[in-house]
Amino acid sequence: MVKLKQELNMAELKNKALNFDKAETRDVHVIKDENNYLCKRTMAVWNISKNVLACLAPKNYAVIQHKHATESIIGAITSLNIKAAAKLKTSKHGIHIDFDFPESKFELKTVGESYTTGIRIVSDYSKVAGLVISPRVTRLACSNGMIVTDIVKSQRIKYTEQLTITVEGLIDKMVKDIITNDEKLANMVSICMEDSTEWNAVKLLLKMMFKKKKYAKEIFNNLDISKKRVTRWDLYNAVTNFATHGERLKPHMEAWLQNKANEIMKTSFNELSEINKPVKKTVAQTA
């Protein structure tokens, strides 16, 4: 079950972390004809709080507990003296936390709007990616959270006893990189604003990019219909707005929508239409 995002301060989040699911690794055995074989290269990541298998992982994989990851992030933010607020969403085996740093602001003169920096944390026992930290920015005008991995790359962290120190350096660098790369972001936005298309073309593109009709409709409704044409920046914001504020979106669906938004940001309308064209089935394919 996916829970809606809860807005929390650092003390509240730390308290929530006490009840996060715990996991451990266990041996995997294959039983055949009453013979019991121990898997030498594979082990199980077991969610002991729910008493279910989360995933299979290589033997050298080490689990980062959600509680430990969250406390390390909070410790790093506190040590850096960064004021922060958090939004928490949980899934079956994972936590998904957006941290906003309201005092770390920058302005994009291209659109005449101010932004705050932040980070997204994903820790999931059902995946072997480790702890993933992504950079994000939020428009002050509409609280539209946008993942900016084309400006500053996401980072994956595997288990380490010095997790807090590792995270502290990464957060500090990530925040500075977002702010100092505002010119690069402004250039991307400028190009997006210059690239426009007709409304009918947008409707068709949304149908091709988003398989669920409901998603395409919601995104289309986020567009300003008073404009004669739609720019790529308009469409990017419509998608990220839906990803940020969409009701009961599962974390993996929100991440998928953010990836689609990034695709829109860096790909012209003509190229988007080409790469999202439905593949025509030949007689051989349908046989």
DSSP per-residue letters across 168-182: HHHHHHHHHHHHHTH
What amino acid is encoded at 252 in this protein?
Answer: H
Residue 258 structure tokens: 């953010």
Q: What is the distance between the alpha carbons of residues 189 and 249, in angstroms, rounded to a whole number? A: 26
State the pLDDT at residue 2: 45
State the pLDDT at residue 287: 43
pTM, 2 dp? 0.87
| pLDDT 10s digits, 4-52 | 466 899 999 999 999 999 999 999 999 888 889 999 999 999 999 999 9
**Lateral strand order in the sheet of 35-47:** 23-32, 35-47, 52-58
Residue 246 structure tokens: 């969409």
State the pLDDT at residue 282: 52
Q: What is the distance between the alpha carbons of residues 62 and 25, in angstroms, rounded to a whole number? A: 8
Low-confidence ranges of the chain (pLDDT < 70): 1-6, 279-287
